């Protein structure tokens, strides 16, 4: 290409610096850019901000997202498959067992404390009293009866007669049984309140649970007493009717505490209507209780044989009472796990039944206890 006369030469291809214009001042020299500095109060790139943890150290304690936040939302009016207490309908025995073990896992400490106060201590006291009664009163009476039958002593000697003693023993035993039944009712009500509140995410202190138990224990005691009378009547008629009445009244406790309406009639209705499912749950619960009792009885016999205290009617040696009392107290302690399991099984059975009748959540059950 031919340049025109008087035209300025074109810049060379690839040059990034424009040609100076004639008569203009020379360009300023290039200086390096200053290093980047963070603003006051902010950290340099790649360093944590003062007062905040560096990246990679996780979420601060207390700000973790709960696992329940990742569960899918269930619309109202539908059963929640993740409910910690109520097994969804038709979920099978596995879901029921999961709720039973879940109740025990969440609340075993509070349940152990409640049942230790209301069941274990009275039962241990009764066991100790039975040992003392057998060793200090029944054994001498038996020895005197054997002596009188052989003609060694006068049969009329002594400070009391057998009929009077039998009547007094029956009255004392009746009072003891009623007191134990009342305390067990208090413990059952307190345990129901504690376990249900814990499942709903609002655990309560031990004192609050026991207070609830004493407020509602008397009413529950009345219904349990009526149920016990029905069981005795069934036993008087025959053994099988008593077993049926015992199973049919198994849900009297939770029905009274949650619903406050016709506990015995509604328990019979549920049992008869859903016989297969309810009977299956109760049978497994009873088998666990019987198995525990069998094991405890074997351990007690082994301990008595090892300690030389198998003869409970030997009053000639007072020192034998010490191992007998130890074995009786240890046996009462060993029954505590069975009591907790049976309670959790009955509560889960009732909650599952409520889920079959209508969609219900554990929060609703917790609110019913406070109604």
pLDDT tens digits along 79-124: 688 999 999 998 999 999 999 999 999 999 999 999 999 998 888 7
Q: What is the mean pLDDT of the chain?
A: 80
- Please give the tally of structural domains in the chain: 1
254 found inside a domain:
yes
Mean pLDDT of 298-303: 88
18 found inside a domain:
no
Please give the Cα distance from 31 to 67 (Å, whole number).
57
341 found inside a domain:
yes
129 found inside a domain:
yes
Where does residue 14 fall: left (phi above 0), alpha (psi -120 to 50 degrees), or beta otherwise?
Answer: left
Please give the Cα distance from 340 to 34 (Å, whole number).
73
346 found inside a domain:
yes
Q: What is the largest CA-CA distance in the chain?
A: 163
CB 299 within 8 A of CB 334: yes
- Domain extent for 250: 98-143+181-370
Mean pLDDT of 214-230: 95
pLDDT at position 284 over 80: yes
pLDDT at 157: 46
204 found inside a domain:
yes
pLDDT at position 53 over 60: no
pLDDT at 272: 94
Mean pLDDT of 132-138: 70
Percentage of the chain modeled with pLDDT above 70: 66
Where does residue 45 fall: left (phi above 0), alpha (psi -120 to 50 degrees), or beta otherwise?
Answer: beta
68 found inside a domain:
no
187 found inside a domain:
yes
């Amino acid at each position: 290409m031919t340049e025109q006369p008087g035209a300025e030469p074109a810049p060379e291809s690839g040059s990034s610096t424009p040609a100076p214009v004639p008569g203009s001042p020379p360009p300023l020299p290039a200086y390096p850019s200053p290093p980047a500095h963070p603003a006051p109060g902010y950290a340099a790139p790649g360093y944590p901000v003062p007062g905040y943890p560096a990246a990679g150290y996780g979420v601060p304690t207390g700000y973790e997202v709960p696992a329940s936040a990742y569960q899918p939302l269930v619309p109202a009016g539908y059963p929640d498959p993740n409910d910690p207490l109520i097994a969804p309908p038709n979920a099978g025995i596995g879901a029921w067992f999961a709720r039973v073990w879940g109740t025990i896992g969440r609340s075993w400490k509070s349940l152990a404390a409640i049942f230790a106060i209301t069941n274990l201590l009275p039962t241990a006291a009764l066991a100790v009293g039975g040992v003392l009664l057998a060793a200090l009163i029944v054994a001498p009476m038996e020895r005197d009866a054997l002596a009188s039958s052989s003609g060694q002593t006068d049969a009329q000697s002594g400070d009391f007669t057998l009929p009077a003693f039998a009547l007094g023993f029956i009255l004392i035993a009746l009072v003891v049984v009623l007191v134990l039944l009342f305390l067990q009712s208090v413990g059952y009500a307190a345990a129901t309140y504690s376990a249900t509140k814990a499942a709903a995410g609002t655990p309560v202190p031990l004192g609050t649970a026991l207070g609830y138990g004493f407020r509602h224990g008397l009413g529950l005691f009345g219904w349990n007493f009526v149920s016990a009378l029905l069981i005795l009547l069934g036993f008087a008629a025959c053994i099988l009717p008593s077993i049926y009445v015992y199973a049919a009244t198994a849900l009297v406790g939770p029905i009274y505490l949650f619903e406050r309406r016709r506990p015995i009639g509604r328990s019979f209705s549920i049992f008869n209507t859903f016989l297969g499912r309810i009977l299956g749950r109760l049978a497994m619960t009873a088998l666990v209780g019987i198995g525990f009792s069998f094991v405890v009885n074997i351990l007690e016999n082994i301990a008595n044989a090892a300690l030389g205290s198998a003869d409970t009617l030997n009053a000639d040696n007072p020192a034998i009472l010490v191992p007998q009392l130890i074995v009786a107290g240890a046996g009462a302690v060993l029954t505590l796990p069975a009591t907790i399991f049976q309670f959790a099984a009955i509560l889960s059975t009732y909650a599952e039944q409520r889920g079959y009748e209508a969609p219900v959540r554990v929060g609703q059950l917790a609110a019913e206890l406070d109604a």
